[in-house]
Amino acid sequence: MSDTPHEEAHTGPIKTPKQLLTTVFLSFVVPIFVIIGLVLYVTSANKPAAGADDMEKAIDARIARVGTVEIRDANRPLKSGEEVFKAQCTTCHSAGVAGAPKFGDVAAWAARIKTGYDALLHSALAGKGAMAPQGGGDFDDIEIGRAVVYMANAAGANFPVPDLSLIHI
């Protein structure tokens, strides 16, 4: 044995207090993220596929017929332009909602009237801008045509009211 004290230097990967704090922080954070990742991995397999909550309903939807038949009374009297306007068009055209020309506003309707009845009818049937086809209603084309004539004539147009004799078959 020797008389001189022999001190061995401490050796290790952590040399400074900053390294110690970083190591302690990461020793807590990394396992938390690993646990979260494992939980997400395990629970992701338990999620049902879209539409699989009610399997019978999903199957019925997949094998449903493509078309449907709606039976209506063909002999019902057709509504007038004013009736269709009051039932469907008044919501937007009375207040001018979403850029709709107001009922009776000659200036707003002038450019539209110049395009002619057929262009106005096409816009009403197919929809234009924020307006859905037929304004979202469920009317015959001739009834929509009557509503177009009612609104346009109130703003100065002189379109004839469509009747069944004008329908081309």
The stretches of the chain forming alpha helices (DSSP H) are 17-44, 55-62, 81-84, 90-93, 106-115, 117-126, 141-154
Of 39 and 104, the structure prediction assigns the larger pLDDT to 39
Class of 81-166 in CATH: mainly alpha
Across the range 104-123, mean pLDDT stands at 80
Residues 6+ apart with CB under 8 A from 86: none
Domains in the chain: boundaries: 14-44, 81-166
pLDDT in tens, 7-63: 666 678 888 889 889 999 999 999 999 999 999 888 877 666 665 667 788 778 788
Say whether pLDDT at 93 is over 50. yes
